[in-house]
Amino acid sequence: MAADRTIPTPGTIPPQIGIRLHDTAPGTMQQRLAAARAQGFTCVHLALSKLAGQTADPAALTPGYAMYLRRLCAEQGMDIALLGCYLNLAHPDEAVLKGITDRYIAHLRFAAALGCGMVGTETGAPNAAYRYDPAACHSAEALETFIRNLEPVVRAAEQFGVLMAIEPVYKHIVWNPRRARQVLDAIESPNLRIIFDPVNLLHPDNLDHREEIIDEAIDLLGPDIAMIHLKDYRVVPQEGGEPSMPCMACGLGEMDYRAVLRYAREKKPGIHMTMENTRPDDAQAAREYICRVYEEA
């Protein structure tokens, strides 16, 4: 009897490609979800504070609100891949930090009711302005602060049965794969995972080593990668200064995604991969571009 080709093997399970819901055309939650589904996306990155008509206030994150949002997504056949809560866990003011920690814990509890397995964050800066300061952000002291402040949030994630995922970014405290590995090893929790955004690891200072940086991220962090973010970039020379790196939809810039997508194809069947920096008029083309590269990887 011929093999049943409708049953996928791990190497052929497609990724679930999604979009940040706030990057869709303005409208109601239902309209945004329908627009994303019409463009072929199967999951969304949900950042409630960036959606008109929604709220991320901890007091409002009730089970009823979660089930309402869950039902809207289910009506469009959409997963909620990630609940975003991108705040500064290295804030120097203890009172402000307490509010930030409480907000993360509220999002983790809400994610559990929402049926969303993961809350995502970047890794902050050791100043109140969340401003990039190379010496301060990349210091050992900043990393120690971040680890200390992240740990109680991860322990809450364990209690709620939800993943807490950190996203390394060159201009933040966890700025390279080695620092991310240090955080994972220091906290040592099965509920702490990585959002892999390869472009966020790049900067004009290290572009000459792009492939090595991506290979290092896969090598050091691969087993802990729970989600991939996708965007493109272009280097723009600046007269008398450092080049800028504006980001844009995939396929419009200089990023080579073959190694990342080959890894996803071979090791991460069905992984959520969400687009960033898209516009309503280029999001579908970006998704189609990534699908082509994925198939050829």
Domains in the chain, CATH or no CATH each: 10-296 (3.20.20.150)
| Placement of tokens 């997508």 in the chain | 261
Strand partners, 228: 196, 273
As a whole number, the mean pLDDT across the chain is: 95
**Confidence at residue 5, expressed as pLDDT on a 0 to 100 scale:** 42
Per-residue model confidence (pLDDT) at position 240: 84
Mean pLDDT to the nearest integer, 236-244: 91
pLDDT band at 241 (very low <50, low <70, confident <90, very high): confident
What is the pTM for the complete model shown?
0.94
Angstrom distance (rounded) from CA 120 to CA 181: 17
pLDDT band at 11 (very low <50, low <70, confident <90, very high): low
Give the pLDDT band (50/70/90) at residue 3: very low
Does the structure show a pLDDT above 70 at 131? yes
What is the rounded average pLDDT of the residues 114-138? 97
The answer to whether residues 115 and 109 touch, using CB atoms and an 8 Å cutoff, is: no
Whether pLDDT at 190 is above 60: yes
Which residue has 């050091």 as its token pair?
Answer: 220
Query: Using alpha carbons only, how large is the chain's radius of gyration in Å?
Result: 19
Q: Note the pLDDT tens digit of each residue in 57-109.
A: 999 999 999 999 999 999 999 999 999 999 999 999 999 999 999 999 999 99
C-alpha to C-alpha distance for 38 and 58, rounded to whole angstroms: 32
Tell me what pLDDT residue 4 has: 44
pLDDT value, residue 105: 98
